Amino acid sequence: MIKIINRNLLNKIYREIKKHNTIVILRHIGADPDAICSELALRDSIKLTFPNKKVYAGGVGVAKFKKYGNLDKPDYEKIENCLLIVLDVPNIARIDGIDNLKYQSILKIDHHPKLDIKADVEWVDEEKSSTCQMVTELILNTKLKLDKKIAENLFLGIVSDSERFSLKNTTIETFETVINLLKTSQIDFPNLYEKLYLRPFSEYKFIAYITNNLIINENHFGYIKISDNILKEYGVDVATPSNLINSYNFIDDLLVWCFITEDVKNNQYKISIRSRGPIINEVASKYNGGGHKFASGAKVKELSDVDNLINDLSKVCKDYENKES
Ligand code: AMP
């Protein structure tokens, strides 16, 4: 069934944006294309609609995402009483760039299960494919303006978070939103895919390494521990495995799979988990993590915790298979 757009809520969000002269937009740490593209698109749309407002898209920049646009480095000393818009993040601890920011109120737009962010105005919908889908709906259904660059970023965020409309978070509404976006903006979308998927050959060799070394157990749980040496050998960074993990979504030997990457800089293991059935975010939240039902992440310091997480995820697969049979 197609959901009716909640125009009252969208207008309330528009009025909240209109009310504030200074706006800082932030998203989760460890940015991905949906997080980056949603903050850039919303910043650019607000600036286009209200040229006199000061609007900043903050958080740490990621070199490989520079192609989507430049982030701002707002001087927090000079900002007071701003509206903080948080996108694509449910908890304070994972808001990139919130430290030392003095804000008057929070507006939140997100598709993760709710956690501790208490917003003055919020739109949370776990059924949306992406935050970019939500920002698209907001722009197309209010007086916020759209241009080609904004539309391109929104399209890319939706395509990325839905893995080209192939994940379970894709709905009729996702397609409806994208059709409206394409009709309104007339962007040359087939040529945009390169921005998301063009990779150096060394990264394909890294994919081959993961494929050859993924351990799949009797419960159809797959995992791999990726050392810092391997990252160096293939010339990839610590975020690369999470950018590749969705590509393993159509392997029928796998129910749940998990990439555990050594993060030397932060002295921890960065973990990405995906599922084709069992719910995994409850396990992730036990290990300093969280996320969606079928796409989660975690961070642990000790190898013993990595092993505990592997056992827990394997058990989740076993229980799921027992229930299904
Ligand atoms: P990733 O595997 O990094 O792409 O993350 C998948 C999902 O899990 C995203 O929605 C992330 O926001 C979420 N996530 C990843 N790492 C963490 C973490 N340490 N804590 C909470 N949520 C996380």
Residue having the nearest C-alpha atom to atom 14 of ligand 1: 297
The answer to whether 171 and 77 are in contact (CB under 8 A) is no
Residue having the nearest C-alpha atom to atom 9 of ligand 1: 291
Domain range list for the chain: 7-196, 201-324
User: What predicted TM-score, i.e. pTM, was given to this entire model?
Assistant: 0.95
Distance (angstroms) between ligand 1 centre and the Cα of 298 equals: 6
What is the per-residue pLDDT across 245-294, written as a single tens digit (0 to 9) for each?
A: 999 999 999 999 999 999 999 999 999 999 999 999 999 999 999 999 99
- Spell out the alpha helix ranges (H) of 223-302: 228-234, 240-244, 281-286
Question: 7-196 has which CATH code?
Answer: 3.90.1640.10
Q: What is the best residue among 256, 257, 287, 296 to mutate for testing ligand 1's pocket, by most ligand atoms within 8 Å of CB?
A: 296
Split at pLDDT 50, 70, 90, the class of 4 is confident
Distance (angstroms) between ligand 1 centre and the Cα of 145 equals: 30
Distance (angstroms) between ligand 1 centre and the Cα of 62 equals: 16
* Atom in ligand 1 nearest the alpha carbon of residue 273: 2
Which of left, alpha, beta for 116 (phi over 0: left; psi -120 to 50: alpha)?
A: alpha
Distance (angstroms) between ligand 1 centre and the Cα of 47 equals: 29
Distance CA 181, CA 203 (A): 32
Residue having the nearest C-alpha atom to atom 15 of ligand 1: 297
Output the six-digit token pair for 103: 């804000």
Distance (angstroms) between ligand 1 centre and the Cα of 246 equals: 13
Distance (angstroms) between ligand 1 centre and the Cα of 108 equals: 18
CB under 6 Å to ligand 1: residues? 28, 30, 32, 94, 112, 242, 272, 288-292, 295-299
Fold of the domain spanning 201-324: Diaminopimelate Epimerase; Chain A, domain 1 (3.10.310)
Which residue's structure tokens are 């949370």?
A: 124
Task: Check whether 1 has a pLDDT greater than 60.
Answer: no
What is the per-residue pLDDT across 148-191, written as a single tens digit (0 to 9) for each?
A: 999 999 999 999 999 999 999 999 999 999 999 999 999 999 99
What is the per-residue pLDDT across 94-103, written as a single tens digit (0 to 9) for each?
A: 999 999 999 9
* Atom in ligand 1 nearest the alpha carbon of residue 30: 3
